[in-house]
Amino acid sequence: MAVWFTSDTHFGDPRILRIDKRPYADLATHDAALITAWNAVVGPEDDVWHLGDFALGSSDSRIAAILGSLSGTKHLIIGNNDGAGTLHAPGWATIAHYAEITVDARRLVLCHYAFRTWNGIGRGAVNLHGHSHNKLKPIPRQYDVGVDAQGPAPISLAAILVSRRRRTTPWASVEP
């Protein structure tokens, strides 16, 4: 079982193509590409922590269909754009505003929002967040796991921890 992280997929949100300049011709292509990227890396026994802003603008049934099409056991950390359709969609193993977990012997503090300080910061804990769409200057041991920072597929902790060494944009391998 692997553990993956992502955030700010914004399924069904027409603003996302314009605001964040994601490289897709239309929203249907965007949503399909993110679903395909997710299922290409996440296996049925894997855990995925989605750190908020899963979907916006779609019907409740569409949100449920998208969630149901994604592999793995899915955990939601609530974001500012997660409405009732997302929160009530069947398929979330857990839903919370905040979580502390341990992955690969590393303590992680998970929230949709970036923190200036967090529990365990002085003992090496890492803060994973979304919300900033790769526009926030990172501080040590803090990582934006959103698709605009890390790419369309959920990402492993090992890849997150070396992501600042990457020389290409997260969308470099995506075909519009």
SS (H, E, C) 34-57: HHHHHHHHCCCCCEEEECCCCECC
The Cα 52–Cα 31 span in angstroms is 16
Q: What amino acid is encoded at 81 in this protein?
A: N
Q: What local confidence, expressed as pLDDT, does residue 174 receive? A: 62
Q: Which candidate, 59, 56, 61, 105, places its Cα nearest to that of 79?
A: 56
C-alpha dist (Å) from residue 62 to 13, 16, 66, 68, 157 = 12, 17, 6, 10, 30
The Cα 68–Cα 30 span in angstroms is 17
- The pTM (predicted TM-score) of the whole model is 0.93
Q: To the nearest whole number, what is the mean pLDDT of the chain?
A: 93
8 Å CB contact between 79 and 51? yes
Per-residue model confidence as pLDDT tens digits over 149-165: 999 999 999 999 998 76
Q: What local confidence, expressed as pLDDT, does residue 171 receive? A: 58
Judge whether residue 176 has pLDDT over 60.
Answer: no
What percent of the chain has pLDDT above 90?
Answer: 82
Per-residue model confidence as pLDDT tens digits over 2-47: 999 999 999 999 888 888 888 999 999 999 999 999 999 999 999 9
Per-residue model confidence as pLDDT tens digits over 56-77: 988 999 999 999 999 999 999 9
Judge whether residue 168 has pLDDT over 60.
Answer: no
Judge whether residue 170 has pLDDT over 70.
Answer: no
Judge whether residue 167 has pLDDT over 60.
Answer: no
8 Å CB contact between 30 and 24? yes
Helices (H), the chain: 15-19, 27-41, 60-69, 84-87, 147-150, 157-161
Judge whether residue 114 has pLDDT over 80.
Answer: yes
